[in-house]
Structure 1
Amino acid sequence: MSTPTVRFINVTRTISAALIALLSSGVSVSALTVYTSVDEENAKHILDAFTGETGVKVDMVFLSSGPALSRIEAEAGNPQADVWFGAPSENHVLAHERDLTQAYTPEGAAALPEAFKSADGFWHAIYTNPLAVGVRTDLLNERGAPLPASWEDLKDPAYKGLIQMPSPQSSGTGYAFVLTMREILGEDSAIDYLKALNPNVQTYTQSGTAPSGALGLGETPVAIQFSPGFLKLKDEGYPVDVVFPSEGGGYEVAAMSILKGASNLDDAKKLADWITSKQGQEALTTAKTYFLPVRSDVSAGEGVPSLDSIELISYDPAFASENRERLVDRWAEEVLGQ
C-alpha cells in the first residue's frame, strides 16, 4: 500500500511545482469573468477579439443592466466576476456610488472625450450610439421628398405620414429624442417642435429599435432611433442613408467598470487597456457591431463620419431621471392630445 502513496505524493509535488512555475510566469490560471450587458452576439464578437489579440480567456455571463447591478451588489461580499462590461454609463456611476467598483486609468483613457470617462477612473466608455435619422433613398425619391439634413427639415410637409420614431411613453430612445430637442430648443419650444412634427409621424413604435426594422422592410422611408440599426442596413446593401442631424443629437454611452474585489485584476486591466485602445476600438468595426467607437481616430465604417465630426447633445442624467414622468406626460397631453 505504501507504493501508491509515494507515487501520489510525487504526483502532487509535480503538479504543485508546475502550478508555482505557472503563477511565477505571470500567466493567469483562471479565466477573466465578465458580466456583460452588451447583447450576447456582439459581446461575444468583441470579447473573442480581445482573447484573440491578448490570449486572455474570458468567461462571459450575459445580464441586462438592472439584473447585472442587482447581482453585483448581492455578491459584493464575495465577488464572482471581475468586470462589468456594457450598460449605460449612469449605471456604472451608480455602481461606484454603492462602492462596487474600483478605479483604474487604462492606457487609452487620454484619447477619450471627457464625457466618455469618469474623472476618477471608475468607468470608461466602450462605445456610443448617437440618435440618427435613417432614410430609404429609393422610397423618398418615389415620393419626391428631399433628403433631410437636420431635425428642422423633418417638419417639412413633404414628410407627412412618412416618419417612424419610438414613443417616449414606452422607449428610452424616444425619451432621449425629447431630451435632445429640449436641450437644443428649450422645453417649451421643444414641445412646439414635436407638435409640428406629429403630422409627419406615421407611427410611434413601442420599441426603440422597431423603426429601423420598418425601414428595412420598406414600411417607412424615414426613421428615428439610435444609429446601429441604420448602419447595419446600410452595410447589408439596403438603399439607406444615415443622417446625423446638423443641430446635434443625444446619445447613449455604454461603459465598463472593474469590480471591487476582482480576483483576476491584471486581466481586467488588460481588457480596459484593450477596449480603449485604437486596436480595441477598431474591433468594434471589424466585428460589425455597428456601435460607434468612442475614439475620434477610429471610424465606425465606410460612409460613417468620425465621432469628432458628429455634434453630440448631452443632458444631465439626474434631471432626465427626475423629470421623465413629467416630460412624457407633457408630450402625451400636448403632442398626442393636440
Structure 2
Amino acid sequence: MISWKRRDAGVGAAVLLLAVAATACGNSAGGTTTAGAAGSSGTASAPAAVAPLVVYSAQGYDAPVTKAFTAATGIPVKLDDDSTGPLLTKVSAERNNPQWDVLWVDGDTAFAALDKQGQLLDYTPPVTLTPAGQALVPADHAYIPVSTTVVPALIYNAAKAAGAAPTTWQDLAGAAYKGKVGMNDPSQSGPTYPLIAGLMNQLGGQNGGVKAGESFLTRLKGNGLHVFPTNGDTLHALETGQIDYGIIQSSAALGEVAKAPKNANFDPKIVYLPQSTLLPGVIGIDKGAPANLQAEAEKFVQYVLSPAGQAAMQSGDPSGDSLYWPVVPGVSPRAGMPPLPAQYQRLDPYFWGPLENQINTFFDTDIK
C-alpha cells in the first residue's frame, strides 16, 4: 500500500489515483474503513489528488461521524476504529513514521505525552467552548476537547442496596459496603486511570502526591473491592449480583440505566461522588502530516464541533459514547441525560500523565 503521509513529493496524479483506489477497497479485518464521496452514478467524485484523512478513533460514534464529514466536505476518510489501549500502542510504535492524521480518544493524559514528544499540531478551532470545555484546553492548544464525560459515576442496584446511596468516597470503605463494590482495571480500561488519578488528586493533590490515594485504595481492597477488566465486565457483575455498586465512566453507567431490563431484583441508578473528574473526548492532529492533510484534519475538528457534527455524535451510539455532555454552547446533551455534575475537577494531564505507569503498577501489585 502506498503511504499518503510519506509519499515522494514528485508522485504524479496517476499514482495518487491508484492510492485512493487502493485505500478505498472496503473494510479490513482490523476495523479500518474508508468513506469516500460518491456522485449520482455511484463512482468516486472526490478529486484524484485529495488524500484520505486517516483517523484513529476509539469512539463508538466515529463511523457515522466520519461518513457525515465526507458527505459534507467531499474529503475521504480512512477510519481505524479500535479500543483506546491498542490505538495508543500503535501510535507509540509508529512514533518515527506516523500513519495517522487524527487521533480521537477519551482522556487527555496520552495527548499530553504526545505533546511533550513534539507530535501534535497546535490548533485553535474558531469555536467558543463552554466553561467546562475551556477548562480542558491545554495552554499551548496542542489538542482539542470536543466532548466530556465524567469519572466516576457510581452505578448501584437500588433493588438490593440497603439504605441511602453513598455520597462520598469514604462511605465505600465502610462496613455497609463490604464485598459489594467493583471497579475496572486501569491497565485494561482506558477511563479508569483518570478515575484513579482524580481520586488521588482530591486526596493528595500535586503537592501531596499519590500516597493518600494508595492508602485509600488499600482500604477499599481490605473492604472486599472487586476488580474487573472493563466497563462491560463490571456492569455484568452488577447485573448478576456479584456486586451492588460499580465505579465506572458516566457514559457506560448512563447507557446501562437506559437499556438494562429492570425487575424486582435489578433497578440500576446513578449517583456522582464529589468531585467528579472531567474525562474529555479529545482530538489531536499529527504535527508531521503534510500540510494538505493538516488542513483536512482542521476541517474535521471544525465539523465535529459544528451542530451537524455534534448531531452525528449524539445519534451514533445512543446507549454508549453518545451519552456525553457537549462542550459547545447551545448544544444540548441527548434527551434524558442529567445535567453535568456541578462539582467537577479538571486533572492536569501534564502532571498525572507521567505517573500512569507507576500508579497502574501499584494497582496491579497491591490492589488486584
TM-score range (shorter-chain normalised) is: 0.7 to 0.9
Q: Which amino acid letter does the alignment assign opposite residue 157 of structure 1?
A: A
Deviation at 1:222, TM superposition (A): 1.0
Report the secondary structure of 1:73's partner residue.
coil
Deviation track 1:265-294 (CA, whole Å, cap 9, x = no partner) reads: 443222111222344334332222245234
Q: Which amino acid letter does the alignment assign opposite residue 271 of structure 2?
A: V
Deviation track 1:49-95 (CA, whole Å, cap 9, x = no partner) reads: 434555543221336112034336314xxxx5543333643333343
2:338 aligned partner: 305
Aligned CA RMSD, in angstroms, stands at 3.5
1:138 aligned partner: 159
Bigger CA drift: 307-316 or 58-67?
A: 307-316
1:255 aligned partner: 282
Deviation at 1:164, TM superposition (A): 0.9
CA distance in 2, matches of 1:218, 1:43: 33
Instruction: Determine if the alignment matches structure 1 residue 104 to structure 2 residue 127.
Output: no
**Structure 1 residue corresponding to 2:182, chosen from 158, 164, 179:** 164
Shift of the 92–195 alpha-carbon distance from structure 1 to 2, 3 Å rule, reads: closer
1:241 aligned partner: 269
**Structure 1 residue corresponding to 2:147, chosen from 103, 110, 127:** 127
The answer to whether the Cα contact below 8 Å between 2:276 and 2:341 also exists between their aligned partners in 1 is: no
Instruction: Determine if the alignment matches structure 1 residue 267 to structure 2 residue 296.
Output: yes
The answer to whether the Cα contact below 8 Å between 2:154 and 2:271 also exists between their aligned partners in 1 is: yes
Deviation at 1:133, TM superposition (A): 0.9
The answer to whether the Cα contact below 8 Å between 2:156 and 2:269 also exists between their aligned partners in 1 is: yes
CA distance in 1, matches of 2:111, 2:226: 33
Structure 2 counterparts to residues 99-248 of structure 1, below 5 A = 99-111=118-130, 113-131=133-151, 132-140=153-161, 144-167=162-185, 173-186=191-204, 187-207=210-230, 209-238=232-261, 239-245=267-273, 247-248=274-275
2:31 aligned partner: none
CA distance in 1, matches of 2:125, 2:47: 19
Bigger CA drift: 101-110 or 171-180?
A: 171-180
Identity %: 19
**Structure 1 residue corresponding to 2:89, chosen from 52, 61, 66:** 66
Q: Which amino acid letter does the alignment assign opposite residue 263 of structure 1?
A: N
**Structure 2 residue corresponding to 1:43, chosen from 62, 67, 71:** 62
Shift of the 212–73 alpha-carbon distance from structure 1 to 2, 3 Å rule, reads: farther
Shift of the 329–270 alpha-carbon distance from structure 1 to 2, 3 Å rule, reads: closer
Instruction: Determine if the alignment matches structure 1 residue 314 to structure 2 residue 341.
Output: no
CA distance in 2, matches of 1:99, 1:317: 14
The answer to which structure has the higher helix fraction is 1
Q: Which amino acid letter does the alignment assign opposite residue 153 of structure 1?
A: D
Deviation at 1:44, TM superposition (A): 0.8
The answer to whether the Cα contact below 8 Å between 1:116 and 1:294 also exists between their aligned partners in 2 is: no
CA distance in 1, matches of 2:361, 2:291: 40
The answer to whether the Cα contact below 8 Å between 2:56 and 2:100 also exists between their aligned partners in 1 is: no
Query: Which consecutive unaligned segments of at least 5 residues does structure 2 have?
Result: 1-13, 15-45, 205-209, 262-266
Q: Which amino acid letter does the alignment assign opposite residue 178 of structure 1?
A: I
Shift of the 185–99 alpha-carbon distance from structure 1 to 2, 3 Å rule, reads: closer
Deviation track 1:96-115 (CA, whole Å, cap 9, x = no partner) reads: 44443433321225446334
- TM superposition score normalised by structure 1: 0.73
Deviation track 1:159-216 (CA, whole Å, cap 9, x = no partner) reads: 2221111245765655444322222222554344334433544522234552123224
Deviation at 1:226, TM superposition (A): 1.7
Report the secondary structure of 1:119's partner residue.
coil
Deviation at 1:312, TM superposition (A): 2.8
Deviation track 1:287-328 (CA, whole Å, cap 9, x = no partner) reads: 222452341644443443334635135245444534743685
Structure 2 counterparts to residues 319-338 of structure 1, below 5 A = 319-322=352-355, 324-325=357-358, 328-329=361-362, 333=366
Q: Which amino acid letter does the alignment assign opposite residue 228 of structure 1?
A: S
CA distance in 2, matches of 1:90, 1:179: 10
Instruction: Choose 1 or 2 for highest CA Rg.
Output: 1
Instruction: Tell me how many residue pairs correspond in the alignment.
Output: 301
Query: Which consecutive unaligned segments of at least 5 residues does structure 1 have?
Result: 1-11, 13-26
